[in-house]
Amino acid sequence: MATRGILYAVFVLPVIFSIVFGSAVMADILQEPDRELNMWRIGSVSSHDKSIQIIGLAQQYSTSSPVKVLVSVDDHSYDCGDLYLTIYSGNNVVTQSGFLEQCFVKDNSQLPIDDEFSEILDTPGQYELVAEIKDKSQKHTISASGKFTVK
């Protein structure tokens, strides 16, 4: 009989205490402003979202022609966010350009605003261009990608 009491005290009570204490801490944290519980989304990147598109990406480029693209974003919650255009060769980053505070809603503009993305890749191969835009608070990101070949 005494061993049963010790068993509860050693194994069961700590589990119950942990659950109660963890729930109280989580409830307190979720009461803070701008806090949310989002367990289903891994990370904050929505890959290949329909609200972002790469415009002007060709299937093939020569080693002497520049890769020039524009980005169109339909989601107004990303207005005045930061745009990043990255070119990958496999898992390696070849080049990345950042365009900060891209405010596009007012003029319904394509990105980058008052700037240009233009890169010449002099090594033949398969590449992937990834366009990512982060919202103004840097909490959420949407992205789109496209593959192309340089010959």
Query: 59-93, pLDDT tens digit by residue?
Result: 999 999 999 999 999 988 999 999 999 999 998 99
144: pLDDT confidence band, cut at 50, 70 and 90? very high
Cα–Cα distance, 64 to 57 (Å, whole number): 16
Going by the DSSP 8-state scheme, the letter that residue 11 receives in this structure is I
Is the pLDDT assigned to residue 9 strictly greater than 90? no
Strand ranges for the chain from DSSP E: 45-46, 52-55, 60-61, 67-73, 81-89, 92-102, 117-119, 125-134, 141-150
Give Cβ neighbours of residue 30 (< 8 Å, ≥ 6 apart). 36, 37
Domain chopping of the chain, boundaries: 1-37, 45-150
- Assigned architecture for domain 45-150: Sandwich (2.60)
Residue 44 is predicted with a pLDDT of 40
Query: pLDDT band at 28, cuts 50/70/90?
Result: confident
Q: Which band of pLDDT confidence, cut at 50, 70 and 90, is reported for residue 100?
A: very high
Q: How confident is the model at residue 42 (pLDDT cuts 50, 70, 90)?
A: very low
More confident residue, 91 or 35: 91
DSSP code, position 3:
H
CA 96 to each of CA 20, 38, 130, 131, 145: distance values in angstroms, whole numbers, following the listed order:
47, 30, 9, 10, 14
Largest CA distance in the chain: 85
pLDDT band at residue 47 under the 50/70/90 scheme: very low
